[in-house]
A and B are shown apart, each in its own frame.
Chain A
Amino acid sequence: MHTRWPMPRNLFAAALALAGALTATPAFAVAGMPNATPIADRVDGLYNLIFWITFVIFVGVWAAMAYVLIRYRYRPGREAKQFHGHTGLEIIWTVLPTLALIAISIPTYKTIRYVDNAPKPDLTVQVVGHQWFWEFKYPDNHVDVSNADLVLPANRVVKLLVSSADVVHNFGVTDFGFSMDAIPGHINEGWVYLKAPGEHQLFCRQLCGTLHAKMMAKVKVVPDAEFASWVQSKGGTYTPGEKSAQAAPQANAAEQAAPKQVAAAPKKADGAALYSANCASCHQATGEGMAGTFPPLAGSEIPNGPAAEHIKIVLHGKSGPLTVKGQQYNGAMPPFPQLSDEEIAAILTYERTSWGNKGGAVTPEQVKALR
């Protein structure tokens, strides 16, 4: 029976210990990730609970297997024990996992309730996914930025309304402790309370086409006062310390005033800035596009051709085979109906007069006529 081990017992034990330690690395990885919100704190706690329960099961099964494989390894002449089952044992290993699942379910359910019962928001941010950039709207503050950082105040309850203008995206900030799908035709509601100023990474996590992997943005969390001045720099208003209870009626009043404000300053639409926010992620700042994937604007047919064609593409999008500067393309550009006539005119004017293009200016009236 007790012949020499084929592998030293210590070495085998060491290999198993190493496997166990490596398997425990996810718990340490989680501990190494910053938690920006109370939701993330709770999700971490839940993660750790599930981790250690599953880890115990894992180690238990592996220890049993290691024991069995050594103890009952082949020996000539040894009789294998012929048994078919053991009712008691089978009941135990049906009941114990069920108990473990209940142990997981209760704190899970508590966390779900915590996440689902959003506190009253101090601020609302609409997140809109586009191929391939994020747009952030602050409806109460009259701010709308695209292809830029998501700026949020610290220590405020922020309501997030996540949607998409084209395909399905996913708003995922690991440090927030959750992600939300951005689905066209749906508005997905969530909330964050950022514990401290800092910077976090936003990813699009749902495959959304060619530049899915480039659809990132930074989340900049700043103190109230800094947030107020940022809002102001974007032409909006934000009163630090303003609470939702007072904000609600004001927002209504502001909403009525808002369209007039925007209408009052339409000529100020900055073509270069709007281009960089809405168009540059594909057509690039240089207007060169990406060979074979995104057609160039610099020196190409459309910005040098009739304005009507150019306007239609921006208003209604373009999909399917296309030849630009002798090269074949077969992709899709989403429509941009969310941009105003003035903004589209400014972008087109910029495109048609930059990079040596000679297409000439476009007026908001021309855009309006084709909308």
Chain B
Amino acid sequence: MSTQSASVSHAPETPTWVKWLTTTDHKKIGIMYLFTAFILFLMAGLFALLVRAQLLSPDMKILSPDQYNQMVTMHATGMIFMAIIPMLIGFANYAVPLLIGARDVAFPRINAISFWLLPLGAVMMLSSFALGGSAASGWTSYPPLSGGFFSPGVGVDLWILGLHLLGVSSIMGGLNFIVTILNMRAPGMTLHKMPIMCWAVLVTSWLQVIATPVLAGVITMLLFDRNFGTSFFRPEQGGDPLLWQHLFWFYSHPAVYIMILPAFGIISEILPVFAGKPLFGYLAIAYSSVAIGVLGFTVWAHHMFATGLPASIRSVFMFLTMLIAVPTGIKIFSWVATLWGGNIRFKTAGLFAIAFVAFFLIGGLDGIFLASIPTDVQLTHTYWVVAHIHYVLFAGSMIGIFSGIYYWFPKMFGRMLDERLGLVHFWLTVIAMNVTFFPMHILGIMGMPRRYFTYLPQFTDLNRLESLASFVLGAAQLILIFNVIKSLRSGEKAPDDPWGGNTLEWTVSSPPPDHNFDVIPTIK
């Protein structure tokens, strides 16, 4: 970018930090998304480590019961809304215009607003720690516990307002990407020719646009119940706590796909590159994302199998839930087939993508137990659910994000990440992740409920093992940070196409020029 601006004028150079703060360039916004969300990832991770430290033994006194509930709540809220979703949006921001051969997104300024709402929403929500304590009723925030009577502080109000800002950001971002992908593809790039990541982002964007307004509605109802005397969820006034659960999960189940579909997209770009082969079953993978997106709206009540819904209604939701396993299975099998017959290079980015397939699989399979009603009501609200969600969101989303970081870092910054440090980060993360999360299945079978700050003695050994492994998992992320800092300073210079990639971003320089393409490419 320096070569570009130097020749433009003799006016005093805008300082770099002003350029970043005022930018509408999708690449800079993407990097700022990734940077901000990674900081928030570390924060939410720290909350998790505090939770794990409290669970080292039944009589730990690291957190008071109320602080523990706050950490549980803000760990999940932070990871979902401030870390994983924004990191994936960061990748979408950075990659999609390059992948479709566009110079930017359709609405660059709206894109900048979407980004800036993220730190604003995060600060809004986190300010509750200075104002008497954050929300402590879980990220699901079920009333009446989250209502004004049982949660009298401002924590839940700030949680709602922060979520509103993040939600508006999400809706605007979704609209932006729908328009961008539908209208700004390079000449000749039909929908069936666009890179698979764009399909994932397109479906995700629709989910954001359709589902997030429902969340906005339901948290506004809670805000009104808490502050303005309405009774949507207050049983003593004729309201119904179950109404919250229906509306909340109508958003929050699709939210899981908002968190996993872009990761599917990322590794579907990366696996073929390191296998040296085209993606197996491109159309099947693309349309299975569409199928997952559509079906995702019809399964929310599987989070409510223990609430006493009639068996007939629960059965419908159960069959629809199980149906989602089919398109998910198609993806898994297609990824394995993508590797089949290849010449597989084990670079860190590729290894993370392979690990995604191997371990997200567990999060898919242990979910089937939660789809079947009788096994669900036995396992629900236990550590089985905690295991399941972490195999989806860590072994899935986060591992996909790591894969994306190692893959696109050279393009973003023009420097290679250190492969040796990458391998150490990879192996520590994958091993510690499994030792942390797999035994949670066993705890769930043994009946240990989630969100307990203390537990019965029979749960001690596995909890201690998980806690120790979680500390390793946390520490392993420091290696990534070190690698990033070291490589930014003195990393090997990245060529335009270090991996032998097939998509358009590898045809331009690393980092790409501000306007991406001198000549908009034409796709044959």
Interface residues of B in 241-280 (CB under 8 A from A): 241-242, 275-280
* C-alpha spacing A81/B338, complex, angstroms: 10
Known pairs A80-B341, A97-B326. 9 more at Cβ < 8 A? A58-B365, A64-B336, A85-B280, A85-B283, A101-B322, A105-B319, A112-B311, A210-B65, A212-B453
Contact between B346 and A47, CB atoms less than 8 A apart: no
* C-alpha spacing A90/B340, complex, angstroms: 14
* C-alpha spacing A22/B142, complex, angstroms: 35
In the complex, which residue of chain A has the Cβ closest to the Cβ of B341?
A: A81
Select the stretch in A183-191, A221-229, A248-256, A307-315 that faces chain B: A183-191
B464 at the interface (CB under 8 A from A): no
Contact between B280 and A116, CB atoms less than 8 A apart: no
* C-alpha spacing A90/B282, complex, angstroms: 11
Interface residues of A in 184-210 (CB under 8 A from B): 184-189, 201, 203-210
**Which of B's residues lie within 8 Å of A, judged by CB?**
64-66, 69, 72, 132-133, 136-138, 140, 142-145, 148-153, 235-236, 239-242, 275-284, 306-308, 311, 314-315, 318-319, 322-323, 325-326, 329-330, 332-334, 336-337, 339-346, 354, 357-358, 361-362, 365-366, 368-369, 372-375, 377-378, 380-382, 438, 441-442, 445-447, 449-456
Given contacts A43-B378, A82-B278, A211-B65, contact A104 B445 (CB under 8 A): no
Residues on the A chain within 8 Å of B322, using CB: 101, 104-105
Residues on the A chain within 8 Å of B332, using CB: 61
A46 at the interface (CB under 8 A from B): yes
Q: 1/0 per position for A167-184, CB-CB distance to B under 8 A?
A: 110101010011111011
Q: How far does the Cβ of A143 sit from chain B's closest Cβ, in whole Å?
A: 24
* C-alpha spacing A89/B277, complex, angstroms: 18
Given contacts A75-B343, A206-B381, contact A98 B326 (CB under 8 A): yes
A321 at the interface (CB under 8 A from B): yes
Q: 1/0 per position for A39-78, CB-CB distance to B under 8 A?
A: 1101100110011001001100110110011001111001
Contact between B326 and A213, CB atoms less than 8 A apart: no
Contact between A83 and B137, CB atoms less than 8 A apart: no
Contact between A93 and B329, CB atoms less than 8 A apart: yes
Contact between A168 and B144, CB atoms less than 8 A apart: yes
A286 at the interface (CB under 8 A from B): no
Contact between B333 and A26, CB atoms less than 8 A apart: no
In the complex, which residue of chain B has the Cβ closest to the Cβ of A73?
A: B344
Contact between B344 and A68, CB atoms less than 8 A apart: yes
Contact between B372 and A46, CB atoms less than 8 A apart: yes
Contact of A69 among B66, B334, B344 (CB under 8 A): B344
Q: How far does the Cβ of A56 sit from chain B's closest Cβ, in whole Å?
A: 10
A306 at the interface (CB under 8 A from B): no
Residues on the B chain within 8 Å of A17, using CB: none
Contact between B344 and A72, CB atoms less than 8 A apart: yes
Contact of B377 among A23, A83, A180 (CB under 8 A): A180
Q: How far does the Cβ of B342 sit from chain A's closest Cβ, in whole Å?
A: 4
Interface residues of A in 85-124 (CB under 8 A from B): 85-86, 89-90, 93-94, 97-98, 101, 104-105, 108-109, 111-113, 115-116
Contact between B454 and A186, CB atoms less than 8 A apart: no
Residues on the B chain within 8 Å of A94, using CB: 326, 329-330
Residues on the B chain within 8 Å of A26, using CB: 441-442, 445
Given contacts A212-B69, A319-B148, contact A81 B277 (CB under 8 A): yes
Residues on the B chain within 8 Å of A65, using CB: 336, 339, 354, 357-358
Contact of A50 among B241, B277, B375 (CB under 8 A): B375
Q: How far does the Cβ of A369 sit from chain B's closest Cβ, in whole Å?
A: 22
